[in-house]
Structure 1
Amino acid sequence: MGDLKIGIVGAAGRMGRMLVKQISETSGCIVCGGTEPSGSDFVGKDIHALANLEPGGVSIGDDAEALFKSADAVIDFTAPEATVAHAKLAARHGRILVIGTTGLTNEQQAEVSACGARAVIVQGANMSLGVNLLAQLTRKVAAILDDEFDIEILEMHHHHKVDAPSGTALLLGKSAAAGRGVDHDAVADRGRDGITGARRRGDIGYAVLRGGNVVGDHTVIFAAENERIELTHKAGDRSIFARGAVRAALWAKDKPAGTYDMMDVLGLGD
């Protein structure tokens, strides 16, 4: 079996360049191409050179469909609308699509999930091993503690991030809700301002901070009378997300069409 040919949409961005570097350093896969929107100054540039590697003779294009035709797998850390279009291309051509994009609406998520009927789609709110372990721990702790323990999720990211709460924070909140056997959307409190009244028992609260160049800090707090448990993960560099995404692409090789997540990739599922 030859190396897995991986393409990258949004190849010239920060995550795109890290993905190029990670793929180049990982056995069993190669960078076969990448895209940027038409008119971008990066179209036509050597994809390896943009990642501060030796030029590899692979240029960035502007035709996403051509990329899906030539790649075995495509990694997508772009934006919700683009991710939906890429999922449809993956389904059309029967390719692997690894999605790290967050902030999809329920309708957009439904469109992506439907594409799993004809493509291998691995989607993760966060691609790091540590965060997925944290999600599992959160679920287990929530299952053990009753609702005398209030659950609050605090997250901080860089000032460029456009969605809030982060996809990772929501992953953790949904893990907590699953542990308690409740509907996340029914108990999620995603923002407080003004005179809100007392905290409703059983809610899962979110607090959001933005500033500087913080890659991603997440803390799940279980707070009861006179005691508090805190589970925390801090990301020091985006390379952890690139590493997880490449691992997901390799894992997906030869898998049947369907929708998967990082719990599947890491063998952390129930």
Structure 2
Amino acid sequence: MTTTPVRLLIHGATGRMGQALLRLCREQDSGCEVVAAVARRVDARVVDGVPQFAAAELAGVPAFDVAIDFSLPEGFDAILSLCIARGAALVSGTTGLSDAQKAQLDTASTKIPAAWASNFSLGVAVLHELVARAATLLPGWDCDIVEAHHTRKLDAPSGTALTLGAAAQAGGAQPHYASIRAGDIVGEHLVQFAAAGERIELAHRASNRDIFARGALHVATRLRGRTPGSYRVAELL
């Protein structure tokens, strides 16, 4: 039985994540077909067989099943509106969204299947579950989250650190954050629970940015055809 490939729109195609997604779809049997790549500006109309669209031309992209968005907050509203208008699913890893944008995403999830995550690594999805469990079982313990990334990353703490902190808070902990920006570190997150005489460390270290792109593609293939709702990566493992 042949499965029809998921038709993907890559939004933020010239960024690091966008380039990784395009390369993986080109090199591997991902179960996805990129039908459009969208960036702020385009220099060519077709690259490696993929039609290119400027952000201002977003309304003219061909039909797609799922949009994968790794852009900036100022570009998020447009891709969200397009997904709603087309009845397509949205997978977004854009961080730094405003409270209003988060509320818009929640509202949109009543109309389309949507998955937002600060980190699409499948390992981080499991780490999130472990942190929530540890916080519940260790009331009163100190909780510290240390994250390290490359020098070009602007937001601090990272979106992943804040998401892990939310998991800890849900379990009753009060997390404190520390951020490191150095060299070309892809991404490292350490969640530490400490009490008198003992300490537990839960850590995830990424050595390759492809893990985030693979995770986003994994989620995209499982989001097509789902009922409207807000989905977590862990639910789609």
Give TM class, smaller chain. over 0.9
Report Cα offsets for 1:134-165 as digits up to 9, x if no partner. Answer: 11111111111111x10000001111112111
Is the Cα–Cα contact under 8 Å of residues 143 and 194 in structure 2 kept in the other structure?
Answer: yes
Instruction: Please say if residues 125 and 171 of structure 1, whose CA atoms lie closer than 8 Å, have aligned partners that are also in contact.
Output: yes
Deviations 1:17-58 (A, max 9, x none): 110122231342211111111xx3x332543xxxxxxx32x2
Larger Rg: 1
The answer to whether residue 120 in structure 2 is matched with residue 127 in structure 1 is yes
2:161 corresponds to which of 169, 184, 202: 169
1:228-239 correspondence to structure 2 within 5 Å: 228-239=199-210
Find the residue that maps to 2:29 and give its secondary structure: coil
Write the distance in 1 (CA, Å) between the matches of 2:16 and 2:183. 16
CA offset digits 1:85-135 (Å, max 9, x no partner): 211111111111100111112222111221112222111111001111111
3-state SS of 1:59 partner: strand
Note the alpha carbon deviations across 1:68-96, whole angstroms, 9 max, x for none.
x5211110011112112211111111111
Q: Which amino acid aligns with 1:257?
A: P
d(CA) in 2 for partners of 1:84 and 1:112? 9
Q: As a proportion of its length, which structure holds more strand? A: 2
Q: Give the TM-score normalised by structure 2.
A: 0.92
| Structure 2 residue aligned with 1:7 | 9
Residue-by-residue CA offset, 1:210-249 (whole Å, 9 max, x unaligned):
1211111100011111211111101111100100000111
2:105 to 112, 117, 121: 112
Specify the code of the residue in structure 2 equivalent to 1:171.
T
Shift of 1:253: 1.2
State how 1:46-125 maps to structure 2 within 5 Å.
46-47=46-47, 55-56=48-49, 58-62=50-54, 63-67=57-61, 69-125=62-118
The residue aligned with 1:44 is 44
Query: Take 2:72 and 2:30, find their aligned partners in 1: how far apart are those partners?
Result: 29
Any gaps of 5 or more consecutive residues in structure 2?
A: none
Whether the aligned pair in 2 keeps the contact of 1:22 and 1:246 (CA below 8 Å) is no
Shift >3 Å, 4+ stretches: none
Counterpart of 1:64, as a letter, is: L
Structure 2 letter corresponding to 1:90: C
Residue of structure 2 in register with 1:194 after alignment: none
Aligned residue pair count? 232
TM-score, normalized by length of structure 1?
0.82
Select 1:243's aligned residue among 211, 214, 221. Answer: 214
Is the contact between residue 92 and residue 118 of structure 1 (CA under 8 Å) also seen in structure 2? no
State the AA in 1 paired with 2:60.
Answer: A
Alignment of 1:188-267 (within 5 A): 203-266=174-237
User: RMSD across aligned C-alpha pairs, in angstroms?
Assistant: 1.5
Identity %: 38
1:32 partnered with 2:26: no
CA contact (8 A) 1:91 1:116 kept: no
Aligned equivalent of 1:151:
143
Alpha-carbon distance between aligned partners in 1 of 2:59 and 2:228, rounded to the nearest angstrom: 19
Aligned-residue offset at 1:251: 0.2
Q: Is the 8 A contact 2:168 2:174 kept in 1?
A: no
2-side partners of 1:166 and 1:264: how far apart? 22
Which segment is superposed worse, 234-243 or 20-29?
20-29
Unmatched runs of 5 consecutive residues or more in structure 1: 48-54, 181-201
Secondary structure in structure 1 of the residue aligned to 2:171: helix
Letter matched to residue 16 of structure 1: G
